[in-house]
């Protein structure tokens, strides 16, 4: 848990100054607001000690706007093993959370195709699906599904609250390989 | 390592509260990391919801504070694990915890009675004053060895004596120590339960002291637990009187591979000293 300072808030985008380990694509952090709770968010970006989160919840944004200091736990979860080419399947809302993964692919020259038709057809060796509602198997090395709305508690893999198909979303996910 | 008439691969057991209460996950850990044994999360007869997050925080280097609050899906959801299994049990009355012990015997090679968790009112340490009665009831009911897990309290020697006199076959020393962290900016406690149990590095010397004082008095079988991060920490516990050593926070910090590293370190230490494992137990008390 690290102390973070709110730098800017612009709509859903919140920038927090905090020293954490360099995250890998697919990892998340939790935002701890004492007296309110702990909330998981995918990392949208982390550069030079500035953590960017996209916070959809108006209630949480209002809570943050009343504070100068928050606490950050993480990076948590398991990184996605991204191959040489990626097919990202999802709808616009869910894709906006995946900025870190998209930017990672662009920065590494990894071929990226984004589709919202939920068809896994194609040549990419890595498929990332943004919701379990659209989970489907594909004959690829790596097919990951983002388990976004699973209830988590300890966030560190000990309490067992986030068990899905024999895996712990907080520790093995939140992108679980299927 | 011979304990309770069982030969264990090594003296390292996974401490309670680290493995999610899911049979398959526990079996996987036994198979992949080969600990001497595992301890289940504290189980109750009925399911218990954990407290609301935040429930587990890293407070400082290798030091944690938690108040998960004994959340578990109920002991009836567990099946036999396969490796040496200590089933940790909790309850909110003597009768309730005794009922849980009956179920625990179905899946465990030993039972650990949790009368020391500071994280749920009415459970854990709330029952510590009834330790004699609880041990007697459970010993009269089950045939597997019964351990009692105690906290790092000032009266540790006295309460250990009560547990042993009532028939406990061993002790697990120690549980976490109750603490609190407050965010000065919002002027609110950081954990949702407000207080929590401190584990890991900060607990280690306190737990070693507890093991030493209890071993000096009674020489029982002790599982030394609290802040084992390296093999040196484990050896410390054994020199103070522990027969087995539990790792909890060390697994959160370093991953399950810490089991192999600690065992390897102990083996190399024994070789360099020309000693056997049993020579270490209570060495500084002799």
Does B38 reach chain A within 8 Å, measured CB to CB? Answer: no
Predicted TM-score of the model (pTM): 0.95
Q: Which two tokens stand for residue B170?
A: 């061993």
Query: Residue A136 has what pLDDT?
Result: 67
Neighbours of B208 (CB within 10 A): 24
Report the percentage of chain A scoring pLDDT > 70: 94
Query: Residue B159 has what pLDDT?
Result: 98
Parse chain B into domains and list their residue ranges.
2-280
- pLDDT reading at A81 higher than 70: yes
Q: Work out the average pLDDT over A70-79.
A: 97
Output the CA–CA distances (angstroms, integers) from residue A78 to A27, A144, B21, B131, B171, in the order listed: 6, 11, 21, 42, 36
The DSSP bridge pattern shows strands B2-3 and A50-54 to be: unpaired
Q: Work out the average pLDDT over B9-16.
A: 97
Question: Does CATH place domain B2-280 in 3.20.20.70?
Answer: yes
Does A31 reach chain B within 8 Å, measured CB to CB? Answer: no
Query: Residue A9 has what pLDDT?
Result: 95
Partners of residue A68 in chain B, C-beta under 8 Å: 185
Res. A95 pLDDT band, cuts 50 70 90:
confident
pLDDT in tens, B87-135: 999 999 999 999 999 999 999 999 999 999 999 999 999 999 999 999 9
Mean pLDDT of chain B, nearest integer: 97
Instruction: Work out the angle between the directed axes of helices B131-139 and B156-165 (0-180°, nearest 10).
Output: 30
Report the percentage of chain B scoring pLDDT > 90: 99
Look at B56 and A158 and tell me if their CB atoms are within 8 Å.
yes
Better-predicted residue by pLDDT, A150 or A131:
A150
In angstroms, the separation between the Cα of residue A31 and the nearest Cα of chain B is 10
Query: Residue A96 has what pLDDT?
Result: 77
**Burial label, B217 (beta-carbon count in 10 A; 0-12, 13-18, 19+):** middle
pLDDT in tens, A108-138: 999 999 988 777 778 888 999 888 777 666 6
Distance CA(B16)–CA(B51), nearest Å, equals 17
Question: Residues 6..25 of A with a Cβ closer than 8 Å to B: which?
Answer: none
Domains of chain A (ranges; CATH) run 2-76 (2.40.30.10), 85-177 (3.40.50)
> Nearest chain A Cα to B20, which residue?
A160
Query: Residue A178 has what pLDDT?
Result: 83
Res. B207 pLDDT band, cuts 50 70 90:
very high
User: What secondary structure letter does DSSP report for A23?
Assistant: P
pLDDT in tens, B151-196: 999 999 999 999 999 999 999 999 999 999 999 999 999 999 999 9
In angstroms, the separation between the Cα of residue A22 and the nearest Cα of chain B is 17
Res. A175 pLDDT band, cuts 50 70 90:
very high
Coil vs helix vs strand at A13: strand
């Amino acid at each position: 848990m690290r102390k973070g300072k709110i730098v800017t808030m612009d709509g859903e985008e919140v920038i927090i100054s905090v020293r954490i380990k360099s995250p890998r694509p697919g990892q998340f952090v939790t935002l701890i607001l004492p007296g309110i709770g702990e909330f998981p968010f995918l990392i949208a970006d982390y550069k030079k000690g500035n953590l960017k989160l996209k916070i959809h919840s108006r209630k949480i944004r209002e809570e943050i706007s009343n504070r100068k200091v928050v606490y950050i736990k993480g990076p948590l979860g398991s990184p996605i093993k991204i191959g040489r080419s990626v097919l990202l399947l999802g709808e616009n809302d869910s894709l906006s959370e995946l900025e870190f993964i998209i930017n990672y692919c662009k920065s590494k020259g990894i071929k990226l195709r984004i589709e919202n038709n939920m068809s896994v057809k194609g040549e990419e060796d890595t498929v990332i699906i943004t919701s379990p509602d659209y989970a489907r198997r594909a004959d690829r090395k790596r097919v990951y599904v983002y388990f976004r709305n699973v209830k988590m508690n300890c966030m560190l893999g000990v309490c067992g609250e986030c068990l899905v198909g024999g895996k712990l979303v907080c520790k093995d996910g939140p992108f679980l390989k299927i | 390592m011979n304990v309770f008439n069982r030969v264990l691969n090594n003296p390292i057991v996974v401490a309670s509260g680290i493995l999610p209460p899911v049979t398959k996950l526990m079996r996987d850990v036994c198979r992949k990391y080969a600990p001497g044994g595992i301890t289940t999360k504290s189980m109750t007869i009925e399911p218990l919801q954990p407290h609301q997050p935040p429930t587990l925080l890293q407070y400082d280097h290798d030091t944690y504070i938690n108040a998960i609050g004994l959340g578990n899906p109920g002991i009836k959801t567990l099946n036999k694990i396969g490796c040496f299994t200590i089933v940790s049990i909790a309850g909110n009355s003597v009768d309730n915890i005794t009922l849980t012990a009956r179920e625990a015997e179905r899946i465990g090679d030993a039972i650990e009675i949790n009368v020391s968790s500071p994280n749920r009112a009415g459970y854990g340490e709330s029952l510590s004053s009834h330790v004699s009665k609880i041990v007697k009831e459970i010993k009269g009911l089950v045939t597997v060895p019964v351990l009692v897990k105690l906290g790092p309290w000032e009266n540790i020697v006295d309460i250990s004596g009560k547990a042993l006199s009532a028939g406990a076959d061993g002790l697990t020393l120690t549980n976490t120590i109750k603490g609190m962290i407050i965010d000065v900016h919002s002027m609110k406690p950081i954990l949702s339960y407000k207080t929590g149990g401190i584990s890991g590095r900060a607990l280690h010397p306190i737990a070693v002291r507890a093991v030493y004082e209890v071993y000096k008095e009674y020489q029982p079988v002790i599982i030394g637990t609290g802040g084992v991060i390296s093999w040196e920490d484990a050896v410390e516990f054994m020199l103070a009187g522990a027969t087995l050593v539990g790792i909890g926070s060390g697994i959160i910090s370093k991953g399950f591979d810490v089991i192999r590293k600690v065992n390897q370190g102990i083996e190399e230490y024994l070789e360099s000293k020309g000693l056997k494992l049993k020579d270490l137990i209570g060495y500084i008390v002799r």
